Amino acid sequence: MPLVVSGSAAWPHPPGGAPSAVAIGNFDGVHAGHRAILARVRAHADALGGASMVYTFDPAPTAVVAPSRHQARILTLPDRVRLLGDTGVGAVVVEPFTRAYAAHPADWFAREVLGRRLGARVVVIGWDFRFGTGREGDADSLRRAGFEVDTVDAVEMDGGPVSSSRIRKLVAAGDVAAAARLLGRPHVLHGTVVRGDQRGRTLGFPTANLDNEVELIPADGVYAVRAGVDGGPSVPGVMNQGNRPTFAGVERRIEVHLFAEVGDLYGHELRVELIERIRPERRFAGLEELTAQIRADAARAREILG
């Protein structure tokens, strides 16, 4: 795990120490485009003999300054920090984002945060990065403030640039397979298993009812998945996301049926990797038709998962 610091003011390296290379951004998803930025910041840090650092924010800036435009987050903060650390960066500084912080002008951010607090020599940013009040700051602003700036172009994949917004749209549409290509891994839901209606047991397909912690959920439907319990190895399964129209449900639920015996799951943490959507959710005429479809869905999931 990288060194994780809450707020730039708490960064422990004193002024005058080895200069750092800092990558700035939300990094929601830690997708292929983000990993290109992170590879560059590590290379610059190696050349400087200093720290490689990610400077990011929580909550998301839009959630604070423009809630109507806020989009569901792909990752929880702990998952984002873990995945950033997996890329090899030495430190992750998570700035608590507030309205007071957002009111600071771009030159204050460059001088106070990047310069005095973090000791940055090189700043690595994405091609569309802006900062400061009214998004007034850009790469040229950073150069005028005395930093070496490395702007990383968008990574192109599947006919377009890789971006968090594009991934959100794919997941929301149910195209989790395409989203996985851009992420470099499946999109994951996770949370505690809680008690549901236990209808699945009566149909021969017991399910784990997930109290999901991840903001970005897929379109309603049935998915081939792999799931792990309490950090253990993943096993194949099938997931239904929706309000169960056959039973006149009104509460949206995430229910996972695993193809391996894993014991009592209530109260345990379940991480669910979304591999491929099998079909949209729909209403069935009765339990016999529903049960036949569940069998077909499970068979199709087994084919997809191999």
Averaged pLDDT for residues 270-274 = 98
Fold topology of 186-305:
Elongation Factor Tu (Ef-tu); domain 3 (2.40.30)
pTM of the complete model: 0.92
Task: Note the pLDDT of residue 202.
Answer: 57
β-sheet with 20-24: strand ranges across:
3-6, 91-96, 52-58, 20-24, 120-126, 148-152
What does the pLDDT look like over 222-239, one tens digit per residue? Answer: 999 999 999 999 999 999
pLDDT score of 285: 74
- The amino acid occupying position 245 is P
Taking domain 3-161, whether its CATH number is 3.40.50.300 is answered by no
Q: Phi and psi for 158 in degrees, rounded to 5?
A: 50, 40
Buried b (16+ CB within 10 A) or exposed e, 191-226: bbbeebeebbeeeebebbbbebebbbbbbbbbbbbb
Domain ranges of the chain: 3-161, 186-305
**pLDDT tens digits for 137-171?**
899 999 999 999 999 999 999 999 999 999 999 99
Segment 243-247 shows an average pLDDT of 62
User: What tokens appear for 203 in the block?
Assistant: 């149909």
82-119 pLDDT, tens digit per residue, is 999 999 999 999 999 999 999 999 999 999 999 999 99
pLDDT in tens, 290-306: 888 999 999 999 999 99
Grade residue 205 by pLDDT with cuts at 50, 70 and 90: confident
Residue 263 — very low, low, confident or very high, per pLDDT cuts 50/70/90? confident
Give the pLDDT band (50/70/90) at residue 246: low
